[in-house]
Structure 1
């Protein structure tokens, strides 16, 4: 939910989350918000997983009183998930 009552906004990327945190956030500053900004920028630079940045963003949104339509999850484990698991190829 945005700072405008009754208006919802769907965030689908770290870039959109960073833009929202930097331009349209209902609170000025906090430790969680500062950590979220650093997490989102690190994600955009490729130094942090999207899952970790997402977790930080959701925590900041909850702190700011924004509604988050999200099932509860724990913090990311840091393990990557491979969708296309392939068998090792045998050499002839």
Structure 2
């Protein structure tokens, strides 16, 4: 499982120019079953995504396709985590 931090960069003022394309990119990640949660980092520092069912290399390629990343609106940091304990509702995230 991965936690992706999308922290605003020096080109933050152009966020509105790429918001629609970023939303479309996010939806693609959800449609492909990779993204399971996305939201803002408060206070207005960027966004975060939880991802699974993908290799780190494939995720890196996917993140690099994000219009926010491509246009330096955000800088992405990928954190890989190996969940060991989960609430029953999240057991699907545990490796078997």
TM-score using structure 1 length: 0.29
* Bigger Cα Rg: 1
The structure with higher relative contact order (CA 8 Å, sep 6+) is 2
TM-score using structure 2 length: 0.29
